[in-house]
Amino acid sequence: MLALGKSLTKALAARTLAPQVCSSFATGPRQYDGTFYEFRTYCIKPSKMNEFLENVKKNIHLQTAHSELVGFWSVEFGGRIDKVFHIWKYDNFAHQSEVRKALANDKEWREQLLTPILGLTDKQESEITYLVPWCKLEKPPKEGVCELVTFQMKPGGPALWGDAFKRAVNAHVDLGYSKLVGVFHTEYGALNRVHVLWWNESADSRAAGRHQSHEDPRVVAAVRESVNYLVSQQNMLLIPTSYSPLK
């Protein structure tokens, strides 16, 4: 019995000391913080974009009375035109449910904001995302433009590609040509998808910085490692509305 006890003790110690395979995406603060961000993309009917934006500008306060708007942009380049993208913040899923119930009972919101924009919209998409643990949401230093870059990674999750992806993002950050606003990992929507939101003074400053990054050996090396896990990527240039908190 004594020998068996010693064997069990050694086995447990070995398990405790054994290296654990984990990812910086999947561990850390995010596991203990229920805060998430809903990404909403609306495709607006042709010729109705100005009417849509004016209605939202006039009545967005009816929704922000219930939930926190992070940013609201029109899409300038990348994919379909006549498109808007906005981000909403929630404490957890119970909070989101409470907001939806409150909005459903808000007659003014339904009549002045919801019903009019539904008549101007062709398509709506929603994703639920978390900020990755190694990144916090940053505020741009002044008004500019944002770039949302979406990476579809290989199946396997952050345990497979998370660390390489982090190194690639940080290599761009270290150059300093663009400010990192946030890195978001999709929880509901297309899985193994990561969105990176960048801020630039202008589209031209963004282009100049990208040219610089293509010649930096540290960026090239980090990106070369990360693309081994990449399926596809796309981006959008975003112009902030006057009522967008993030500009």
In this predicted structure, the answer to whether residue 241 has a pLDDT above a threshold of 70 is: yes
Q: How confident is the model at residue 48 (pLDDT cuts 50, 70, 90)?
A: very high
Higher per-residue pLDDT: 55 or 9: 55
Find the CATH number of the domain harbouring 86.
3.30.70.100
Residue 146: other Cβ atoms inside 10 A: 25
8 Å CB contact between 245 and 199: no
Domain of 229, in residue numbers: 36-240
In this predicted structure, the answer to whether residue 16 has a pLDDT above a threshold of 90 is: no
CA 30 from chain centre, in angstroms, equals: 14
Please count the structural domains in the chain.
Answer: 1
8 Å CB contact between 231 and 152: yes
In this predicted structure, the answer to whether residue 21 has a pLDDT above a threshold of 60 is: no
Residues 6+ positions from 144 with CB-CB distance below 8 Å = 199, 200, 201, 202, 247
Mean pLDDT of 40-49: 96
In the block, residue with structure tokens 């981006």: 235
Does residue 177 form part of some domain?
yes
Does residue 247 form part of some domain?
no
Does residue 11 form part of some domain?
no
Does residue 20 form part of some domain?
no
Ramachandran sector of residue 79 (left: φ over 0; alpha: ψ -120 to 50; beta: rest)? left
- What percentage of the chain reaches a pLDDT higher than 70? 87
Does residue 59 form part of some domain?
yes
pLDDT of residue 25: 56
pLDDT of residue 3: 41
| Cα dihedral 135/150/237/126 (nearest 10) | -90
Does residue 15 form part of some domain?
no
Does residue 138 form part of some domain?
yes
Does residue 73 form part of some domain?
yes
